[in-house]
Amino acid sequence: MADTSSSAGRLQAIRWESRQLVILNQLLLPHSSEYVKIADCHAGHHAIASMQTRGAPAIAIVAALSLAAELNTHPEFDSSEAACNFIHERLDFLATSRPTAVNLFAAVRELKQVADQALHENTDVREAYIQAAEQMLAADIADNQAIGRFGADFLTNEHKGQLKVLTHCNTGALATAGYGTALGIVRRLWEQGKLEQVVFTETRPYNQGARLTSYELLAEQIPSRLICDSAVSALLKSDPQVSAIIVGADRVAANGDTANKIGTYQLAISARFHNRKFIVAAPSTSIDLNIGSGREIVIEERDDKEITRITGVTCDSLQGGKVEMESVQIAPLETRAWNPSFDVTPADLISAIVTERGVFVKQPGADVFDLASDLM
């Protein structure tokens, strides 16, 4: 049984207790912390598509556990074949919730294999599935702690003294089962007394930085500073103390090309121009060895309204009344937008990829990574 109440972070975005799933509704953060019960795959699909839960590892785990919760209350199946077919069909449905983060598809593939194997071995298909989904939750926390250790060691070996780093989007306890990936490295540096400050971007249009990363960093009392997305180059130019940019990943191709939150690519260009390290931190489940390069990654495009409007709470409501989220129109109503949720950073611009298996770098003189060999 997964330990979901471990020291992996006081903030729990995913709670799995007595085989019931509740998630923190991230659409209401940082002003209101409300948990939503996810009783079945339809609720799980809705939570992922509407971004009540988000972040590549968290999406996969909520999908897996939403089916575990549904199986737990499902009446007896007529046969093991019926249970296995049900699991396959529900996993195919969950896979349609969001297209870019590969962790979801890796989880779907692995969980189908678990069900098939239980059927083949004549063991309890439902029980095998639930235990495998629980295992994914526990493994993600351990993987993130390993990423934190590897990443912090890599940075402190290269730079002596206190570090100042920049991060983008939200890659912390809210985006994972706990601890975080890129933010896990930041957390580890802080735990070791080696972090002076983390600067983080607002991450328009969904504002994962301004709403979620700030919430996590304040909760942990990690010294931090918010900047708008367009201030990154100005920061790197004016502050030589910022030694590295650390980001997460939604999908990493075999050559190291990395899909991550929109804006990541321009951060990497700026890091190269200003001669700073650009680090990708992700579990190996974010690496898709089935694709040779980032050209094959499907980039999700989201609603125009995420750009043409802004959502928040009124200051009056923060003074004490009931906190109500409000959506305010900022562009003319007729404005058409282009809203890709992710972009692909070419491997050439990436200094290192930190996983729970270690830190991968390019061979001397190479423009791309060889992750298939690294992961062998």
Q: Which residues are catalytic?
A: 250
The least distance separating ligand MRU from the CB of residue 248, rounded to whole angstroms, comes to 3
Question: What are the E-state strand segments in 25-111?
Answer: 35-38
**Between residues 208 and 355, which has the closer beta carbon with respect to ligand MRU?**
208
**Tokens 């260009």 sit at which residue?**
269
Tokens for 223, please give them: 């010294």
Listed in sequence order, the residues at least 6 apart from 349 whose beta carbon sits closer than 8 Å to its beta carbon are: 265, 268, 269, 271, 272, 278
The least distance separating ligand MRU from the CB of residue 9, rounded to whole angstroms, comes to 13
Instruction: Give the footprint of ligand MRU on this chain (CB under 6 A).
Output: 54-57, 101, 169, 171, 175-176, 181, 208, 248-250, 260-261, 341
**Between residues 176 and 255, which has the closer beta carbon with respect to ligand MRU?**
176
Q: What residues does 224 pair with on adjacent strands?
A: 198
The least distance separating ligand MRU from the CB of residue 176, rounded to whole angstroms, comes to 5
Dihedral, CA of residue 227, residue 13, residue 104 and residue 369, to nearest 10: 40
- Helix, strand, coil in percent for the chain, rounding step 5: 40, 20, 40
**Between residues 261 and 362, which has the closer beta carbon with respect to ligand MRU?**
261
Q: Is the dihedral of CA 250, 201, 157, 191 positive or negative?
A: negative
The least distance separating ligand MRU from the CB of residue 93, rounded to whole angstroms, comes to 19
Q: Is the dihedral of CA 109, 15, 54, 188 positive or negative?
A: negative
CA angle 105, 6, 16 (to 5 degrees): 50
For the chain, count helices (H), then strands (E). 12, 16
Host H or E run for residue 198: strand 195-201
Residue number of the CB atom closest to ligand MRU = 248
**Between residues 57 and 67, which has the closer beta carbon with respect to ligand MRU?**
57
The least distance separating ligand MRU from the CB of residue 332, rounded to whole angstroms, comes to 26
**Between residues 54 and 188, which has the closer beta carbon with respect to ligand MRU?**
54
Kindly write down the DSSP assignment for every residue of 105-121, as one continuous string.
Answer: HHHHHHHHHHHHHHHHT
**Between residues 169 and 268, which has the closer beta carbon with respect to ligand MRU?**
169
The least distance separating ligand MRU from the CB of residue 171, rounded to whole angstroms, comes to 4
